[in-house]
Amino acid sequence: MKITFLKWGAASLALLVSAAGATTALAQDQSSQSSPAAATPAPEPEKKADPSIAQRKENQQDRIANGVKSGQLTAGETANLEKKEAAINKETRTDRAANGGKLTSAEKAQVNRQQNQMSKQIYADKHNANTAHYGNNKVGQRRENQQDRISQGIKSGQLTPGETAKLEKQQQGINKQVASDRKANGGTLTASEKKQVNKEQNQASRNIYKKKHNAATQPNAKKP
């Protein structure tokens, strides 16, 4: 009886040990299945790059073209704006030539500051009291046609800022002459004055055509 009791005790002990091991393994398996997988960190949102020098230049020209087309910018205002844009472009070309075709970080920052100032001036000129009034007459219509052609040339890139400044300065001179003649004649123009204005606009028209069809264009200029 004693020996039999020992045998049963050993067997019972083995069964208990085996059961405990199985329980532990099961618990570990269930724990590993129930624990959520490590969350993949969400990618950081991509930062938008600042507009390039060329893109800012194109944006400014589009804004000027729209102002010319709408009459918000007078010929004098446009000539002044484009003269400053031409100066920025010249400075940029000089810096690129000195640095193997590239701009340094400091030079890019400088151009950006200059374009910020230009942007403010474009807005101010487009929203001040000065507007281009063409008048419901042949002289006014001719003047509006010239501005439309200049506006199209700016927007397409056929006219550079320097060319536009010269064309608008010419238009400004004609406009001042017309305003002076009208003031001297009670608001009207004589037949000879109209003839003179038409002659000057013919010359301006040829200048617009030449500058729009020469080799000088803005980068990424669209074909006419």
Give me the half-sphere count of Cα atoms (radius 13 Å) on the Cβ side of residue 205.
11
Averaged pLDDT for residues 35-58: 63
Q: Indicate whether 223 pLDDT > 70.
A: no
Q: How does DSSP classify residue 85?
A: H
Tell me the pLDDT tens digit for each residue of 157-186. Answer: 999 999 999 999 999 999 999 999 999 999
pLDDT at 9 (0 to 100): 53
**Residue 194 CB contacts under 8 Å (≥ 6 apart), including other chains:** 138, 139
* Least confident segment among 25-29, 152-156, 162-166, 180-184: 25-29
pLDDT at 77 (0 to 100): 97
Tell me the pLDDT tens digit for each residue of 54-92. Answer: 999 999 999 999 999 999 999 999 999 999 999 999 999
Percent of the chain past pLDDT 90, that is, above it, reads 70
Query: pTM of the predicted model, to two decimals?
Result: 0.74
Averaged pLDDT for residues 33-56: 59
When pLDDT is cut at 50, 70 and 90, the band that residue 51 belongs to is low
Q: Indicate whether 119 pLDDT > 80.
A: yes
Three-class secondary structure of residue 78 per DSSP: helix
What's the 3-state SS for 152-217? Answer: HHHHHCCCCHHHHHHHHHHHHHHHHHHHHHHHHCCCCCCHHHHHHHHHHHHHHHHHHHHHHCCCCC
